[in-house]
Structure 1
Amino acid sequence: MRVFVAVVPPPEVVSALEDLLAPRREAVAAREEWRWTRPEHLHLTLAFVPDLQEWREEELVEEGQRYADRHRPVDLRLAGAGAFPDPGLARVLWAGVEEGEPGTLAAWAKGLRAVASHAGARVDGTRFTPHVTLARAVGGRHPAGHLVQSLDTLRTPVWSASRIDLVASYLGQGPGGTPRYETRHSWTLGE
Protein backbone atom coordinates (compact mmCIF):
# COMPACT_ATOMS: atom_id res chain seq x y z
CA MET A 1 0.00 0.00 0.00
CA ARG A 2 1.33 3.47 -0.96
CA VAL A 3 1.08 5.80 2.07
CA PHE A 4 2.38 9.06 3.42
CA VAL A 5 2.42 10.73 6.83
CA ALA A 6 1.34 14.35 6.56
CA VAL A 7 0.01 17.54 8.10
CA VAL A 8 -3.21 18.61 6.40
CA PRO A 9 -4.08 22.32 6.46
CA PRO A 10 -7.51 23.18 7.93
CA PRO A 11 -10.40 24.30 5.67
CA GLU A 12 -9.91 28.03 6.33
CA VAL A 13 -6.29 27.81 5.17
CA VAL A 14 -7.23 25.80 2.08
CA SER A 15 -9.95 28.36 1.30
CA ALA A 16 -7.51 31.29 1.61
CA LEU A 17 -5.03 29.47 -0.62
CA GLU A 18 -7.70 28.67 -3.21
CA ASP A 19 -8.77 32.33 -3.31
CA LEU A 20 -5.20 33.34 -4.11
CA LEU A 21 -4.62 30.55 -6.65
CA ALA A 22 -7.83 30.92 -8.67
CA PRO A 23 -6.76 33.87 -10.87
CA ARG A 24 -3.30 32.39 -11.38
CA ARG A 25 -4.75 29.06 -12.53
CA GLU A 26 -7.06 30.87 -14.92
CA ALA A 27 -4.16 32.90 -16.34
CA VAL A 28 -2.21 29.79 -17.37
CA ALA A 29 -5.12 27.40 -18.06
CA ALA A 30 -5.06 27.78 -21.84
CA ARG A 31 -1.52 26.41 -22.06
CA GLU A 32 -2.44 23.25 -20.11
CA GLU A 33 1.09 22.98 -18.75
CA TRP A 34 0.12 22.42 -15.11
CA ARG A 35 -2.13 19.93 -13.31
CA TRP A 36 -3.25 21.72 -10.16
CA THR A 37 -3.64 19.88 -6.85
CA ARG A 38 -7.25 19.41 -5.84
CA PRO A 39 -8.06 21.35 -2.64
CA GLU A 40 -8.85 18.18 -0.69
CA HIS A 41 -5.40 16.81 -1.58
CA LEU A 42 -3.33 19.68 -0.20
CA HIS A 43 -0.94 18.42 2.46
CA LEU A 44 2.60 18.68 3.80
CA THR A 45 4.34 15.30 3.53
CA LEU A 46 6.57 14.37 6.45
CA ALA A 47 7.31 10.78 5.43
CA PHE A 48 6.55 8.86 2.24
CA VAL A 49 6.31 5.07 2.20
CA PRO A 50 5.97 3.83 -1.39
CA ASP A 51 5.00 0.30 -0.42
CA LEU A 52 3.74 -0.43 3.10
CA GLN A 53 2.87 -4.06 3.59
CA GLU A 54 -0.66 -4.12 5.00
CA TRP A 55 0.26 -6.37 7.90
CA ARG A 56 2.73 -3.67 9.07
CA GLU A 57 0.10 -0.91 9.21
CA GLU A 58 -1.03 -1.70 12.77
CA GLU A 59 2.53 -1.48 14.09
CA LEU A 60 3.03 1.81 12.25
CA VAL A 61 -0.17 3.20 13.78
CA GLU A 62 0.94 2.17 17.29
CA GLU A 63 4.47 3.56 16.85
CA GLY A 64 3.02 6.75 15.37
CA GLN A 65 0.77 7.23 18.38
CA ARG A 66 3.69 6.89 20.77
CA TYR A 67 5.57 9.47 18.69
CA ALA A 68 2.61 11.88 18.63
CA ASP A 69 2.13 11.58 22.39
CA ARG A 70 5.69 12.90 22.92
CA HIS A 71 5.37 15.95 20.65
CA ARG A 72 3.32 19.10 20.87
CA PRO A 73 1.56 21.14 18.18
CA VAL A 74 3.35 23.82 16.20
CA ASP A 75 2.01 26.95 14.51
CA LEU A 76 2.30 26.93 10.72
CA ARG A 77 1.48 29.22 7.82
CA LEU A 78 1.82 28.79 4.05
CA ALA A 79 4.03 31.59 2.76
CA GLY A 80 5.70 32.26 -0.58
CA ALA A 81 6.35 29.68 -3.27
CA GLY A 82 9.04 27.76 -5.07
CA ALA A 83 9.56 25.07 -7.67
CA PHE A 84 11.40 21.75 -7.93
CA PRO A 85 13.99 21.29 -9.22
CA ASP A 86 14.11 25.01 -10.04
CA PRO A 87 11.79 27.72 -11.42
CA GLY A 88 13.55 27.79 -14.80
CA LEU A 89 12.27 24.34 -15.77
CA ALA A 90 10.09 22.90 -13.04
CA ARG A 91 8.24 19.66 -12.42
CA VAL A 92 6.52 20.85 -9.22
CA LEU A 93 5.17 24.22 -8.07
CA TRP A 94 4.86 24.51 -4.29
CA ALA A 95 3.85 26.77 -1.41
CA GLY A 96 6.42 27.33 1.30
CA VAL A 97 5.76 26.72 4.99
CA GLU A 98 6.69 29.03 7.87
CA GLU A 99 7.00 27.43 11.30
CA GLY A 100 6.36 29.03 14.67
CA GLU A 101 9.32 27.03 15.96
CA PRO A 102 11.88 26.71 13.12
CA GLY A 103 13.23 23.20 12.66
CA THR A 104 10.19 21.44 14.12
CA LEU A 105 8.96 20.04 10.80
CA ALA A 106 12.41 18.75 9.85
CA ALA A 107 12.63 17.03 13.25
CA TRP A 108 9.13 15.59 12.78
CA ALA A 109 10.07 14.33 9.30
CA LYS A 110 13.22 12.67 10.64
CA GLY A 111 11.38 11.17 13.62
CA LEU A 112 8.41 9.90 11.62
CA ARG A 113 10.66 8.38 8.96
CA ALA A 114 12.43 6.54 11.78
CA VAL A 115 9.06 5.44 13.19
CA ALA A 116 8.00 4.05 9.81
CA SER A 117 11.35 2.34 9.32
CA HIS A 118 11.16 0.82 12.82
CA ALA A 119 7.71 -0.52 11.91
CA GLY A 120 9.33 -2.35 9.01
CA ALA A 121 8.43 0.03 6.17
CA ARG A 122 10.81 1.09 3.42
CA VAL A 123 10.81 4.90 3.65
CA ASP A 124 11.63 7.30 0.83
CA GLY A 125 14.76 9.12 1.95
CA THR A 126 14.71 12.25 -0.20
CA ARG A 127 15.84 15.50 1.42
CA PHE A 128 13.04 17.11 3.40
CA THR A 129 11.88 20.56 2.31
CA PRO A 130 8.68 21.70 4.04
CA HIS A 131 6.19 22.51 1.29
CA VAL A 132 2.68 21.92 -0.02
CA THR A 133 2.50 20.87 -3.68
CA LEU A 134 0.28 23.24 -5.66
CA ALA A 135 0.74 21.87 -9.18
CA ARG A 136 2.70 19.37 -11.25
CA ALA A 137 4.01 19.98 -14.75
CA VAL A 138 2.19 18.11 -17.53
CA GLY A 139 4.42 16.36 -20.08
CA GLY A 140 7.83 17.19 -18.65
CA ARG A 141 9.16 20.42 -17.19
CA HIS A 142 7.89 23.94 -17.72
CA PRO A 143 9.09 27.44 -16.82
CA ALA A 144 7.57 28.42 -13.47
CA GLY A 145 9.38 31.61 -12.55
CA HIS A 146 6.35 33.74 -13.41
CA LEU A 147 4.13 31.61 -11.13
CA VAL A 148 6.63 31.59 -8.27
CA GLN A 149 6.91 35.37 -8.55
CA SER A 150 3.12 35.81 -8.63
CA LEU A 151 2.85 33.78 -5.42
CA ASP A 152 5.48 35.80 -3.59
CA THR A 153 2.73 37.51 -1.57
CA LEU A 154 1.16 34.23 -0.45
CA ARG A 155 0.47 34.34 3.30
CA THR A 156 -2.31 32.18 4.70
CA PRO A 157 -3.72 32.44 8.21
CA VAL A 158 -1.61 30.77 10.89
CA TRP A 159 -2.93 27.46 12.19
CA SER A 160 -1.91 25.05 14.91
CA ALA A 161 -0.78 21.73 13.47
CA SER A 162 -2.08 19.48 16.23
CA ARG A 163 -2.72 16.37 14.15
CA ILE A 164 -0.69 14.14 11.84
CA ASP A 165 -2.41 11.84 9.35
CA LEU A 166 -1.48 8.51 7.82
CA VAL A 167 -2.91 8.65 4.30
CA ALA A 168 -3.14 5.92 1.65
CA SER A 169 -2.75 7.04 -1.94
CA TYR A 170 -4.41 5.01 -4.70
CA LEU A 171 -2.94 6.19 -7.99
CA GLY A 172 -5.34 6.81 -10.86
CA GLN A 173 -8.50 6.09 -8.84
CA GLY A 174 -9.65 9.69 -8.39
CA PRO A 175 -11.43 12.07 -10.77
CA GLY A 176 -9.67 12.50 -14.09
CA GLY A 177 -7.06 9.87 -13.26
CA THR A 178 -5.82 11.70 -10.18
CA PRO A 179 -4.97 9.79 -7.00
CA ARG A 180 -7.64 8.92 -4.48
CA TYR A 181 -6.61 9.61 -0.88
CA GLU A 182 -7.91 7.76 2.15
CA THR A 183 -6.99 8.82 5.68
CA ARG A 184 -6.16 5.56 7.42
CA HIS A 185 -5.37 7.03 10.84
CA SER A 186 -4.95 10.39 12.58
CA TRP A 187 -2.65 11.01 15.52
CA THR A 188 -3.33 13.93 17.84
CA LEU A 189 -0.16 15.51 19.16
CA GLY A 190 0.37 15.73 22.91
CA GLU A 191 0.00 19.06 24.69
Structure 2
Amino acid sequence: MCGGRGTRLDSETEKPLFEVGGRPMLARVADALAGSRAETAHAVVSPHAPETREFAAERADLAPVETPGEGYVEDLRAALRAVEPPVLTVAADLPLLDADAVNAVLDAYDEARRGVPEPPSKTVCVPAALKRELGASIDTAFERDGREVAPAGVNIVAQTDTETMYETYDARLAVNVNRLPDADLAEALL
Protein backbone atom coordinates (compact mmCIF):
# COMPACT_ATOMS: atom_id res chain seq x y z
CA MET A 1 0.00 0.00 0.00
CA CYS A 2 1.85 3.07 -1.22
CA GLY A 3 -0.59 5.68 -2.42
CA GLY A 4 -0.35 8.20 0.41
CA ARG A 5 0.81 11.78 0.25
CA GLY A 6 2.63 11.74 3.58
CA THR A 7 1.24 15.04 4.83
CA ARG A 8 2.07 14.20 8.47
CA LEU A 9 5.72 13.80 7.46
CA ASP A 10 5.84 17.49 6.52
CA SER A 11 7.95 16.67 3.48
CA GLU A 12 7.74 17.51 -0.20
CA THR A 13 8.61 13.88 -0.98
CA GLU A 14 5.76 11.40 -1.44
CA LYS A 15 5.61 9.21 1.67
CA PRO A 16 6.60 5.90 0.02
CA LEU A 17 9.66 7.59 -1.49
CA PHE A 18 10.71 9.30 1.75
CA GLU A 19 14.23 8.13 2.46
CA VAL A 20 15.23 6.37 5.66
CA GLY A 21 18.86 5.38 5.88
CA GLY A 22 19.47 6.79 2.40
CA ARG A 23 16.84 4.61 0.67
CA PRO A 24 13.16 5.13 -0.12
CA MET A 25 10.87 3.30 2.32
CA LEU A 26 9.11 1.61 -0.61
CA ALA A 27 12.44 0.14 -1.80
CA ARG A 28 13.09 -1.24 1.69
CA VAL A 29 9.63 -2.84 1.87
CA ALA A 30 9.90 -4.21 -1.69
CA ASP A 31 13.28 -5.75 -0.86
CA ALA A 32 11.81 -7.37 2.26
CA LEU A 33 8.99 -8.87 0.21
CA ALA A 34 11.37 -10.02 -2.55
CA GLY A 35 13.49 -11.86 0.01
CA SER A 36 10.50 -13.48 1.69
CA ARG A 37 8.20 -16.37 0.77
CA ALA A 38 5.71 -13.91 -0.74
CA GLU A 39 5.19 -14.97 -4.34
CA THR A 40 4.34 -11.68 -6.05
CA ALA A 41 4.44 -8.04 -4.97
CA HIS A 42 2.18 -5.30 -6.23
CA ALA A 43 2.58 -1.61 -5.49
CA VAL A 44 -0.89 -0.27 -4.75
CA VAL A 45 -0.65 3.31 -6.00
CA SER A 46 -3.01 6.26 -6.28
CA PRO A 47 -3.22 9.53 -8.21
CA HIS A 48 -1.86 11.24 -5.07
CA ALA A 49 1.57 9.66 -5.55
CA PRO A 50 2.56 9.81 -9.25
CA GLU A 51 6.29 9.61 -8.53
CA THR A 52 5.68 6.48 -6.47
CA ARG A 53 3.82 4.95 -9.41
CA GLU A 54 6.81 5.70 -11.67
CA PHE A 55 9.25 4.29 -9.11
CA ALA A 56 7.24 1.07 -8.81
CA ALA A 57 6.89 0.71 -12.57
CA GLU A 58 10.68 0.84 -12.93
CA ARG A 59 11.18 -2.11 -10.57
CA ALA A 60 10.77 -5.56 -12.05
CA ASP A 61 9.61 -6.93 -8.67
CA LEU A 62 6.70 -4.46 -8.22
CA ALA A 63 3.65 -4.54 -10.46
CA PRO A 64 1.65 -1.31 -9.92
CA VAL A 65 -2.06 -1.60 -9.17
CA GLU A 66 -3.95 1.65 -9.71
CA THR A 67 -6.54 2.79 -7.16
CA PRO A 68 -8.74 5.90 -7.01
CA GLY A 69 -6.93 7.42 -4.02
CA GLU A 70 -10.04 7.66 -1.85
CA GLY A 71 -8.38 6.47 1.36
CA TYR A 72 -6.72 3.34 2.68
CA VAL A 73 -9.84 1.17 2.97
CA GLU A 74 -11.27 2.13 -0.41
CA ASP A 75 -7.89 1.72 -2.11
CA LEU A 76 -7.44 -1.67 -0.45
CA ARG A 77 -10.85 -2.75 -1.76
CA ALA A 78 -9.87 -1.62 -5.26
CA ALA A 79 -6.57 -3.51 -5.03
CA LEU A 80 -8.28 -6.69 -3.84
CA ARG A 81 -10.38 -6.68 -7.00
CA ALA A 82 -7.11 -7.01 -8.96
CA VAL A 83 -5.65 -9.96 -7.03
CA GLU A 84 -7.02 -13.16 -5.55
CA PRO A 85 -7.02 -13.65 -1.75
CA PRO A 86 -5.42 -14.58 0.49
CA VAL A 87 -3.27 -11.47 0.12
CA LEU A 88 -0.54 -10.12 2.35
CA THR A 89 -0.87 -6.34 2.58
CA VAL A 90 2.02 -4.20 3.77
CA ALA A 91 2.15 -0.45 4.27
CA ALA A 92 5.07 1.27 2.58
CA ASP A 93 5.95 3.10 5.80
CA LEU A 94 7.69 0.16 7.51
CA PRO A 95 11.39 0.75 6.74
CA LEU A 96 12.60 -1.77 9.35
CA LEU A 97 10.69 -4.61 7.70
CA ASP A 98 12.81 -7.48 6.44
CA ALA A 99 12.21 -10.90 4.89
CA ASP A 100 12.35 -12.71 8.24
CA ALA A 101 9.62 -10.49 9.69
CA VAL A 102 7.45 -11.06 6.60
CA ASN A 103 8.01 -14.82 6.80
CA ALA A 104 7.06 -14.83 10.51
CA VAL A 105 3.68 -13.30 9.59
CA LEU A 106 3.21 -15.81 6.77
CA ASP A 107 4.17 -18.67 9.12
CA ALA A 108 1.59 -17.50 11.70
CA TYR A 109 -1.07 -17.43 9.00
CA ASP A 110 -0.10 -20.88 7.70
CA GLU A 111 -0.26 -22.28 11.24
CA ALA A 112 -3.69 -20.74 11.86
CA ARG A 113 -5.15 -22.10 8.64
CA ARG A 114 -4.11 -25.73 9.09
CA GLY A 115 -7.24 -27.85 8.91
CA VAL A 116 -9.51 -24.82 8.47
CA PRO A 117 -11.49 -24.87 5.21
CA GLU A 118 -11.87 -21.07 5.04
CA PRO A 119 -9.14 -19.42 7.13
CA PRO A 120 -9.89 -15.98 8.53
CA SER A 121 -8.08 -12.79 7.69
CA LYS A 122 -5.29 -11.82 10.06
CA THR A 123 -4.52 -8.37 11.41
CA VAL A 124 -0.95 -7.99 12.67
CA CYS A 125 -0.63 -5.86 15.80
CA VAL A 126 2.11 -4.87 18.21
CA PRO A 127 1.67 -3.92 21.86
CA ALA A 128 1.18 -0.18 22.19
CA ALA A 129 3.63 -0.41 25.10
CA LEU A 130 6.33 -1.52 22.64
CA LYS A 131 5.70 1.50 20.42
CA ARG A 132 5.90 3.77 23.48
CA GLU A 133 9.06 2.04 24.69
CA LEU A 134 10.69 2.58 21.30
CA GLY A 135 9.40 6.15 21.01
CA ALA A 136 7.26 5.45 17.93
CA SER A 137 4.07 7.41 17.33
CA ILE A 138 0.72 5.71 17.83
CA ASP A 139 -2.07 6.80 15.52
CA THR A 140 -4.50 3.98 16.23
CA ALA A 141 -4.75 1.63 19.20
CA PHE A 142 -7.43 -0.57 20.70
CA GLU A 143 -7.96 -2.97 23.61
CA ARG A 144 -7.59 -6.69 22.96
CA ASP A 145 -7.80 -9.22 25.80
CA GLY A 146 -6.98 -6.53 28.34
CA ARG A 147 -3.97 -5.16 26.44
CA GLU A 148 -3.64 -2.09 24.29
CA VAL A 149 -2.40 -2.99 20.80
CA ALA A 150 -1.69 -1.02 17.65
CA PRO A 151 -2.08 -2.20 14.05
CA ALA A 152 1.31 -2.77 12.42
CA GLY A 153 0.35 -1.98 8.83
CA VAL A 154 0.62 -5.65 7.84
CA ASN A 155 -2.42 -7.85 7.27
CA ILE A 156 -3.45 -11.00 5.52
CA VAL A 157 -6.79 -10.59 3.79
CA ALA A 158 -8.54 -13.89 3.20
CA GLN A 159 -11.75 -14.76 1.38
CA THR A 160 -13.90 -14.77 4.53
CA ASP A 161 -15.33 -11.91 6.57
CA THR A 162 -13.91 -13.30 9.81
CA GLU A 163 -10.72 -11.88 11.24
CA THR A 164 -8.17 -12.89 13.84
CA MET A 165 -5.24 -11.02 15.30
CA TYR A 166 -1.56 -11.93 15.32
CA GLU A 167 0.22 -10.02 18.06
CA THR A 168 3.98 -9.73 17.86
CA TYR A 169 6.61 -7.98 19.94
CA ASP A 170 8.77 -7.49 16.84
CA ALA A 171 10.18 -3.96 16.68
CA ARG A 172 10.54 -4.28 12.88
CA LEU A 173 6.74 -4.11 12.73
CA ALA A 174 6.36 -1.41 15.39
CA VAL A 175 7.89 1.58 13.62
CA ASN A 176 5.63 3.12 11.00
CA VAL A 177 7.13 6.35 9.68
CA ASN A 178 4.28 8.83 9.86
CA ARG A 179 6.16 11.82 11.27
CA LEU A 180 9.73 13.12 11.19
CA PRO A 181 10.52 11.78 14.72
CA ASP A 182 9.45 8.32 13.47
CA ALA A 183 11.95 8.66 10.60
CA ASP A 184 14.68 9.64 13.08
CA LEU A 185 13.80 6.61 15.23
CA ALA A 186 13.89 4.27 12.20
CA GLU A 187 17.29 5.65 11.18
CA ALA A 188 18.63 5.09 14.70
CA LEU A 189 17.31 1.52 14.78
CA LEU A 190 18.73 0.68 11.35
Q: TM-score range by the shorter chain?
A: under 0.3
Higher Rg of the two aligned structures: 1
Normalising by structure 2, what TM-score?
A: 0.24
TM norm structure 1:
0.24
- Larger RCO: Structure 1 or Structure 2 (Cα < 8 Å, ≥ 6 residues apart)? 1
